[in-house]
Amino acid sequence: MEKSQCRTFASKYGNILDLAMVEVPVDVVMALIQYYDPPLSCFTFRNFQLAPTIEEFEEIMRCPLGDKKPYMFLGHHPAVSKVVSVLAVEEHELIKKKQNKNGVEGFPLSYLEGIARLLAARGNWETFMDALATMLYGIVLFSRCEEFIEFAAIDAFLAFKHRGESFVVSILADVLHTLNVCHAKKGEKVLCCVQVLYVWLVTTILKQADGSFCPFENFRNCFSKNDINWQSYLACLEESKIIWCSKWKNVSKMIWHYGNFPNVPLMGTRACISYNPILGMRQHGYPIRGAPLENAITPFLIPSLSLENGEMLAKVRRAWDKMIKKALTIKSKEDVEGSYKQWLQRRVHTIGLPIPEWGMNIEEDGELPQNLEEVLRLEATLEKMKNEKEKLRETLEETKVEKRGFKNVR
C-alpha cells in the first residue's frame, strides 16, 4: 500500500498494522511472566505493582471504547457466508479451504495471503484492506495457532466492521488469560497479542521512551531493546524507574466496575477473567489511597466460553449495560499510602519473587543473589530487633522514673 492508503487503513482499523511490525524478544516475555500475579491480574514487583488497563490498551491500539459496546463472543462463530462478504470469494471455495487445527476452526494464513495479493493486483483496495485486517486480527490480536486465522478472530473483526464493537476489552482479557496459562504451565508459549503487551511494558518502565503524547512514538524513541538483559533489568526494577504519569496516558475517568460485580470481568475469545482497575491507577498519575478492599480484587475466572458456562457469560454481557466509570480528579506526588505498602509487602512475601538482593548492582557483581524469602526473613528479624530495642528503651525510661519517685519518697 502507498502511504495514503496506509493512513486510510489506520483511520479505519487503528494501530494494528504498526503492531504487526513490532518484533518482540522472546526473553522479555519469559522474564515478565515470572512477575505475573494471577489472582490479581497484574505484575507484582518488590515495592510496586503494574496492571495493564483498558485505557492504556485503547491508546496503544488507537481504538477508544467510548460509548461503543465491547466485542463479546455470542456463543457461535460466523457463518461462512458472512466471511465471503468480506473476502469477496466464492462460498464453495471458502468452505473447501476451512480447516480444523488443534481443535480450532479457521483458514490457513497462506490462503488469505493469496486472496489479498489477488485483490491488490486488481486494485480492489477497499476489499484488500478488509482482507489485511482479517489476517492481522488472526496473527497479531487473537492468535492461537501459528500461520492460522481462526474463526474467533474473524468473528471479532466482523463485530468491529459491521456493529462497531470494540476489540480492546477482548484483547486485554486474552492477554491476561494467556499470562494465567503460561504462569501455571511453565514454558507455555505466549501467542496472544504480545506486541501490545510489549509496547505497554517498554513505554511504562523505560524513561527514555517518555515525552510524547503517542505511545508508538515513545516506543520508537526508546534505546535499543536488544541491549537489555530483561531478566536482570526486571529483577532490579524499582518504583522510581517507572513512568507513573506518561503524557499519552491522559485519562480523567477509568472503568471501575459494572453490574453487580465488584471489579471488571473481561470477556475475551477464550475465557472470562477479572480485571482490577484500582491496581492500575498509578499508571495514570493518580495515587492509591490505601490497601484495596478484598471484595474489590476478588478473582473471577470462567476458563472457557462453552455452552455449559452460558448462564454466567450472559450475566457478564448484561452487566456491561451498567458500566460504572470513576472520575479521577486528584493528582498527587504522594503515589501511595502506607497501608497499601504494608499490604503489598505481605503480598510479596506470600507469593515470592525472583528478585535479587536489595541494593545489589547486577552489572557490577554479575551474580544473582539469594531468594526473596531469605531477604524478607532477615528484614523481619531486623524489624523485630528494632521493636525489642524500643521496648527496652521504654522500660529503661520507666525504671528511671520509678527510681526518681522512690528517692523523693525517702
Give the pLDDT band of residue 189 (cuts 50, 70, 90): low
Residue 157 has pLDDT above 90, yes or no: yes
Question: Where is pLDDT greater, at 215 or 403?
Answer: 215
Question: Quick one: pLDDT at residue 176?
Answer: 94
Cell of residue 139, nine digits = 496473527
Task: Quote the CA–CA distance of 149 and 172 in Å, as a whole number.
Answer: 19
Residue 207 has pLDDT above 90, yes or no: no
Backbone angles phi, psi at 133, to 5 degrees: -60, -40
The verdict on pTM exceeding 0.85 is no
Question: Quick one: pLDDT at residue 404?
Answer: 63
Question: Quick one: pLDDT at residue 362?
Answer: 37
* Averaged pLDDT, 268-277: 93
Question: Quick one: pLDDT at residue 134?
Answer: 95
Are 179 and 213 in contact by the 8 Å Cβ rule? The answer is: no
The beta strand positions in 135-183, using DSSP E, are 148-150
Residue 190 has pLDDT above 80, yes or no: no
List CB contacts of 405: < 8 A, sequence separation 6 or more: none
User: In terms of C-beta density within 10 A (0-12 exposed, 13-18 middle, 19 or more buried), how is residue 128 classed?
Assistant: buried
Question: Quick one: pLDDT at residue 268?
Answer: 93
Residue 86 burial (CB count, 10 A): 18
Question: Quick one: pLDDT at residue 331?
Answer: 60
Residue written as cell 530483561? 230
pLDDT tens readout for residues 379-389: 556 666 766 77
- Out of 27-31, 354-358, 367-371, 379-383, which region has the weakest mean confidence (pLDDT)? 367-371
- Out of 300-304, 326-330, 358-362, which region has the weakest mean confidence (pLDDT)? 358-362
Question: Quick one: pLDDT at residue 170?
Answer: 94
Residue 271 has pLDDT above 70, yes or no: yes
User: In terms of C-beta density within 10 A (0-12 exposed, 13-18 middle, 19 or more buried), how is residue 166 classed?
Assistant: buried
Give the pLDDT band of residue 357 (cuts 50, 70, 90): very low
- Out of 51-65, 123-137, 212-226, 368-382, which region has the weakest mean confidence (pLDDT)? 368-382
DSSP symbols for 355-402: -PPTT--HHHH-S----HHHHHHHHHHHHHHHHHHHHHHHHHHHHHHH
The beta strand positions in 45-147, using DSSP E, are 49-50, 99-101, 104-108
List CB contacts of 348: < 8 A, sequence separation 6 or more: 44, 46, 372, 376
Question: Quick one: pLDDT at residue 371?
Answer: 46
Give the pLDDT band of residue 283 (cuts 50, 70, 90): confident
* Averaged pLDDT, 302-328: 89
Which residue in 199, 180, 134 sits closest to 38, CA to CA?
A: 180
Question: Quick one: pLDDT at residue 220?
Answer: 83
Question: Quick one: pLDDT at residue 151?
Answer: 93
| Average per-residue pLDDT for the chain | 83
